[in-house]
Structure 1
Amino acid sequence: MDLATFLIQCLNSLQYGLLLFLVAAGLTLIFGIMGIINLAHGSFYMIGAYMAYALAAPVAATFGGGFFSTLGVGVLLSAVLGYVLEWAFFSYLYERDHLQQVLMTYGLILVFEELRSIIVGDDVYSVAPPPLLSGSIALGELMTYPVYRLFVSGVCLLLAGGMWWVFTRTRLGMMIRAGSHDREMVQSLGIDIQLLFRIVFAAGVALAAFAGMVAAPVSSVYPGMGSAVLIICFVVVVIGGIGSVRGALLAALLIGFVDTFGKVLLPQASGVLVYVLMAGILLWRPMGLFKS
């Protein structure tokens, strides 16, 4: 493997890992802070990808701005969806056992898949990157790398930094961290824990949908894409430590590099390398890399 190829695979690993982090960060927030096993979280990633396809024309006609306006409208709609879902369904699951959580969230997967089939059909769709980011940069004499992939990595890094700032430097982050450890104590201080959890859930849904929207021009839009990403996101959450955002970031980057280089160097074993990584880390640290 020459230097240019190695650099391209490193960039691919970084982009894949950061996208995984955006989806897994929402999952670890919902799982670790709210205590809910949300099997429907991958569906929010799928919804985001389909919104990038379905909203492009109407948003461009109404607001202009093309892809970036679609991102803004899609994130807003997904946050509203998350808020409504928490109010209508998930708020009733906090005191229920995990089996009921699994059954209800699996039912939501079926509902979302059926709605997707009715509204946009079962075909595979492509989403064009914005013209501003459709070019490539040269890496060596023969290889190039898409500018859009670099844009995705940069945006994901900015969001990761923003999440770190919110959770460690703001009053909202302090309340979220306190509520994850002792809900009754937070309520006794006069904080509306229900509203707080709805904000957390809406943010988790918006992060997953945003990841789906920015991933759509790279991976296309197809049925079942939510289920495919859900499994690997649970692996990220387990490796990083349930409820830990920094753990999710490190775990997602590790998985990105193992998966990408595994497909290049060991293609026949690439399907199991991520799970071997998970098993090795859990033997070393059974609670994951970091605790929440």
Structure 2
Amino acid sequence: MALCWYQASPQSWAEPSSIIPRASSTTERQHLNEALYLKEETISIASRYEQPISRAPSDVYVITDEEIQSSGATDVPTLLRRVPGMEVMQTNAVDFNVSVRGNNQALSNKLLVMVDGRSIYLDQAGNIIWKLLPVTLAEIKRIEVLKGPASAVYGFNAFDGVVNIITKSPEEMRGTTIQVAGGEVGTLLTSVVQAGTVGNWGYRLSGGHEQTQRWSDRDAPALNSQRIGGRVDYHLAGDGIIRAEAGIGRANPYNGFVREASVSDGHLSQGYALVSYEQRGLLVRGWWSGHFGEA
């Protein structure tokens, strides 16, 4: 499997660059390397508020943006294989079962998976459609994994643990990012993300396509999917942010277990919409998400 990244980010000549200053001596260089090495990740998955990972009351693992880009992975389950204690089993060309500490089964319904704090678990199917996640790998800032029971904080789905996929803001992803990947079994994956800021406004638009063949019959398609998404931020005075986003993914066909569970003919779609307001520790949001197929 091959994965290529290309990113072109506009930058004004008046903007200061983020280049790390060169150390003037061996001692300063050692101190700089130690500071970079010892830089501590900030997480929010353990207690639902920002805190240093060393103060988290639970076992938390973080997959960073740099690790995602250097991994060569083409989907989130492949990235989760890097996490100690996580078990990732691919049952066919399109379906994955992800669990914690050996508690794997046909439908892994005891692991809560979220995107920016929004659950993507499908009650009707009792599973996650990993191949229709409403986010491309290029948009992911980090993945926080909490290993162990967290039902007291997140509800019944978090019996084994929690995975929170945190995406980049328009400010963090200004420019155009193109991702292309290909491999065996007729696998082809492409995605494009455009993000930028205009005054108090920020936007992020993304689109992607993925296709692959069945393991049992390499001449028969297992997945041919398209996804689009968009996000708009408006920055208020006093660090307030109003955010609206929506996305939809459609697979035709989707030859996986969810197809059988949904009693559909292989046409499967998954969509969501979200509106939120955040200011000085206050977060108010509402969202809709669901999936539907053609009977």
TM over 0.5: no
**Structure number, greater radius of gyration:** 2
The structure whose residues are more often helix, as a share, is: 1
The structure whose residues are more often strand, as a share, is: 2
User: TM range, normalised to the smaller chain?
Assistant: under 0.3
